Amino acid sequence: YRHRHTDLWLRPLTDDASERLIGNLLEGKGMPQAFSDKILSAAEGNPFYVEEVIRSLIDQGVIRYDERAVGWEMRRDIAQVALPDTLQGVLLARIDRLHEETKRVLQMASVIGRVFLHRVLAAIAQEARQLDEHLLTLQRLQMVRERARIPEWEYIFKHELTREAAYNGLLRKERRALHRQVAETLERMFPERIEEQLGLLAHHWERAGDSEKATEYLLRAGDQARSVYVHEEAIDYYERALAFLKQEGAHER
């Protein structure tokens, strides 16, 4: 919603700033100029691309930490390494290299949202063994991080684009099933907080494709927003509910 945020337009990093970023990420270890040049050419001043491509090269073993030399070193010729053209490509490549169960945990978390409770993830990831180990791996790879422990364990994706890449890796049928699981879990775990989560529940039931539940929560969320004079949000909820009602009317005809 536009009234809840302000757009800030940031200029791309200069080559000097990008090189300093690479140096900071690799703890000041000097790399061959060809290494920096290749990354800078692909990054085009995007700091998140620089960070993610460095982590991708570490994942692949192109860069490795040498404890004896106390620093990072090249293990392969950078000229022989293909870099994805886009940030999305870098993120997808990193996700695809995950162990299958770790990748599945990341994808399930992506359905819950950028911020997710350990308890909710555990409820929908029942088949994922050693959930905490998978989360530790994802933290070590800096895809997610721990956000809070009190009042309960909460995690956050380091960047929304990482969550989107993981989410987009799911088939539509899988997404719908997982959104349904999340919605049912939230209703079951937090019955006393339903009114606080009307918009969130509307979102999950909407994505689950359940027109009856989605319409119910969208209308309630719209009424709630209207009662506190947040008219733009109220209109959005009502329009989304109307779309479901029109679909139902078309099916009945």
Both 152 and 182 in a single domain?
Answer: no
- Local structure of 6: helix, strand or coil: coil
Is 95 within 8 Å of 166 (Cβ atoms)? yes
Q: Please tell me whether residues 175 and 253 are part of one structural domain.
A: yes
Number of domains in the chain: 3
Grade residue 127 by pLDDT with cuts at 50, 70 and 90.
low
Cβ distance 26 to 63 under 8 Å? yes
Tell me what pLDDT residue 191 has. 95
Is position 219 within any domain? yes
Contact 105, 135 (CB under 8 A): yes
- The answer to whether residues 187 and 252 belong to one domain is yes
Indicate the residue among 170, 199, 232 that finishes a domain: 170
* Nearest to 46, CA basis, from 16, 81, 5, 11: 11
Residue 138, pLDDT > 80, answer yes
Contacts of 118 (CB under 8 A, 6+ apart): 135, 152, 153, 154, 155
User: Above 70 in pLDDT, residue 59?
Assistant: yes
Give yes or no: residues 151 and 177 share one domain. no
Q: What is the pLDDT of residues 148-159, one digit of tens each?
A: 999 999 999 999
Establish if 210 belongs to a structural domain: yes
Average pLDDT over residues 14-31: 85
Q: 42: which DSSP letter?
A: H
Please check whether residues 14 and 36 belong to one and the same domain.
Answer: yes
Query: Inter-axis angle of helices 160-168 and 87-96, to 10 degrees?
Result: 60
Nearest to 159, CA basis, from 63, 62, 46, 64? 46
Same domain, 166 and 177: no
Measured between alpha carbons, how far is 53 from 39 in angstroms, rounded to an integer? Answer: 8
pLDDT above 80 for 82: yes
What does pLDDT average to over the chain?
90
Residue 251 has pLDDT above 60, yes or no: no
Average of per-residue pLDDT across 241-247: 89
Q: What is the CATH number of the domain that holds 131?
A: 1.10.10.10
Is 231 a residue whose pLDDT tops 50?
A: yes
Q: What is the pTM of this model?
A: 0.87
Q: Which two tokens stand for residue 84?
A: 């994805």
Q: What is the CA radius of gyration of the chain?
A: 22
Residue 89 belongs to a domain: no
Same domain, 162 and 129: yes
Backbone phi, then psi, for 154, in 5-degree steps? -140, 140
DSSP class per residue in 144-188: EEEEE-SSS-EEEES-HHHHHHHHHTS-HHHHHHHHHHHHHHHHH
Q: Which of 84, 107, 130 is the last residue of a domain?
A: 84
Between 228 and 80, the more confident residue is 228
Residue of 41, 47, 46 lying closest to 25 (CA atoms):
47
DSSP state of 115: E
Checking if the pLDDT of 73 tops 90, the result is: no
Which tens digit of pLDDT belongs to each residue from 195-210?
A: 999 999 999 999 999 9
Domain-ending residue, one of 120, 145, 170: 170
Count of alpha carbons within 13 Å of 158, Cβ hemisphere only? Answer: 14
Distance between CA atoms of 164 and 16, rounded to whole angstroms?
30
pLDDT in tens, 83-104: 888 999 999 999 999 999 999 9
Range of the domain at 204: 171-253
CA distance 233 to 225: 6
| Pair 175, 225 in one domain | yes
Confidence of residue 30 (pLDDT cuts 50, 70, 90): low
